[in-house]
Amino acid sequence: MKSSRRQFLKAIGSAGALAARCKTSPAELMGGQVKSIGKAAKTYDVAVVGAGVFGAWSAYCLRKSGASVLLLDEYGPANARASSGGESRIIRMGYGAEEIYTRWSMNALPKWKGLFAQAGRPELFQPTGVLWINHQDQKYAHDTEATLQRVGARFEKLALSQLRERYPQVSFEEDCWGIFEPDSGVLIARRAVQVVVDQTVKEGADYRLEAARPPTGKQRLTEIMCASGERFSAATFVFACGPWLPKVFPNLLGNRIFPSRQEVFFFGVPADDHRFSAPAMPTWLKIEDEFYGMPDIEGRGFKIAHDSHGPRVDPDTQSRLATPDAMAIAKQYLARRFPALKDAPVLEARVCQYENTSNGDFLIDKHPEMENVWLVGGGSGHGFKHGPSVGEYVTARVTQGGKVEARFSLATKEVVQRRAVF
Ligand SMILES: Cc1cc2nc3c(=O)[nH]c(=O)nc-3n(C[C@H](O)[C@H](O)[C@H](O)COP(=O)(O)OP(=O)(O)OC[C@H]3O[C@@H](n4cnc5c(N)ncnc54)[C@H](O)[C@@H]3O)c2cc1C
């Protein structure tokens, strides 16, 4: 790790220059991960605020690059309020014509699996496969097929007769066809993020349960103050606060990131009925209907979610109780698509929130006025799977500079009015 730390310092400037920015000596910087400097207790190369999937992977990759890293979260990694909280998230390669996300997903899956293997937790990826249920003239589906083909991702194209033969427990309309991704599946979300944080700490980063106060001023940020009174200084700050970004930077992001209420339901499968667990039942998406779901994993239930954006919510205070309306919509869809489950009981409901941007693309850019502050978020309902790719991208920008992709820039994030479909 020491030589990689030297590489990191070389990459972002000399230790002297960095120390000047951090108000501590080069010897202190080169000698250890954490140093005291008077009242502002600790100094790091990078402080990452927010231990959701984006912050956790950013901290992990930054630490692997040799940086001294502080990761902090006000409620804990993948807590019940966070967008990364909850049971499960899909990892799929198909993204219509959006090749960059297909590539990012293909890059991310082995990184997730590698980290789980390192932690002795291979079960945190469930290889259920992912089935796209498409209609005949659906452009997104044809684009997905073309992109998967172009980048060499493994998939099978299934005609209606094949769908019906393979998945008799699913009701398909007459004009359906399918794309099956055999290597994709489900990440066990909350526990996966916790494992990333554990591994980051094992690599030598510090993790703290602290609420950072919103930074003020228009210049270089020297430290963050926490609600507890603790202060942490760093050369670079990464704010990966997900749906809290509009609260942390109200003037800049108040209208650019739109946290929307999302409700998810788990239905009970009859005992001894294996038609709704993998491998008989894959994870599935039907984007035309704005529904997706997963097989019964770990006896938790058959998951169904309506992907349409709910009302704007505050992640601190929104009610986490499911509404009867949302439950009725989910039950209706379940009965239509999976007739054998029409009377299945609801085992569990979860209420979460997306953090939508106007273009559905992530926000990974520098703050326009605080030159050493990075804004990382805007997962827009599809960010989880990309954690490792986001972490690598953030690390490359922090350590090597370079222009951010236009699609991730603040400049492309308009006031949010419409739904972007990914
Ligand atoms: C219901 C639902 C289903 C989804 N399904 C999928 C899917 O199938 N596949 C997929 O890839 N993606 C999916 N997503 C999207 C994905 O989960 C999110 O894009 C991703 O989790 C966002 O992560 P994040 O780290 O940006 O935000 P978060 O996980 O919300 O993390 C932000 C963290 O910042 C902390 N924080 C905020 N402010 C402060 C502060 N001032 N001080 C300290 N800490 C602070 C919070 O406590 C929080 O832990 C889904 C999202 C939801 C809600």
Q: pTM of the prediction?
A: 0.92
Q: How confident is the model at residue 23 (pLDDT cuts 50, 70, 90)?
A: very low
Tell me which of 88, 132, 384, 390 to substitute to probe ligand 1's pocket, judged by most ligand atoms within 8 Å of the beta carbon.
384
Mean of all residue pLDDT scores within the chain:
91
Do residues 119 and 199 lie in contact, with contact meaning Cβ atoms separated by under 8 Å? yes
Q: Which of 260, 308, 382, 386 to mutate to test the pocket of ligand 1 (most atoms within 8 A of CB)?
A: 382
pLDDT tens by residue, 51-76? 999 999 999 999 999 999 999 999 99
Determine contact, residues 381/101, Cβ cutoff 8 Å: no
Contacts of 165 (CB under 8 A, 6+ apart): none
Give which of 8, 53, 34, 22 is closest to 382, Cα–Cα: 53
* pLDDT for the residue numbered 113: 98
Among protein residues, the one whose CA lies closest to atom 5 of ligand 1: 89
Nearest atom, ligand 1, residue 379 CA: 19
Residue 412: which residues within 8 A CB-CB, separation 6 or more?
358, 359, 361, 406
Judge if the beta carbon of residue 212 lies within 6 A of ligand 1. yes
Distance (angstroms) between ligand 1 centre and the Cα of 160 equals 36
| CA geometry: angle 109, 200, 90, nearest 5 deg | 30
CA distances in angstroms from 18 to 12, 13, 66, 393, listed in the order given = 8, 6, 14, 21
**pLDDT at 6 (0 to 100):** 58
Q: What is the CA radius of gyration of the chain?
A: 22
With the most atoms of ligand 1 within 8 angstroms of its CB, the residue from 61, 241, 408 to mutate is 241
CA 260 – ligand 1 centroid, Å: 12
Rounded CA gap, 381 and 134, in Å? 20
Positive or negative: CA dihedral 117, 68, 5, 235: positive
Distance from residue 342's CA to the centre of ligand 1 (Å): 31
What's the pLDDT tens digit per position in 354-408? 999 998 999 999 999 999 999 999 999 999 999 999 999 999 999 999 899 999 9
With a cut of 50, say whether residue 101 has pLDDT above it. Answer: yes
Helix (H, G, I), strand (E, B) or coil at 300: coil
Predicted local distance difference test score (pLDDT) of residue 218: 87
Structure-block tokens of residue 287: 């984007």
Query: In angstroms, what is the span from residue 168 Cα to ligand 1's centroid?
Result: 35
**Helix ranges, 126-219 (H):** 139-151, 160-166, 189-202
> Is the link from the previous residue into 279 a cis peptide, with omega within 30 of 0?
yes
415 confidence band (pLDDT: 50, 70, 90)? confident
Dihedral sign, Cα of residue 185, residue 189, residue 193, residue 194: negative
The count of other CB atoms within 10 Å of the CB of residue 384 is: 25
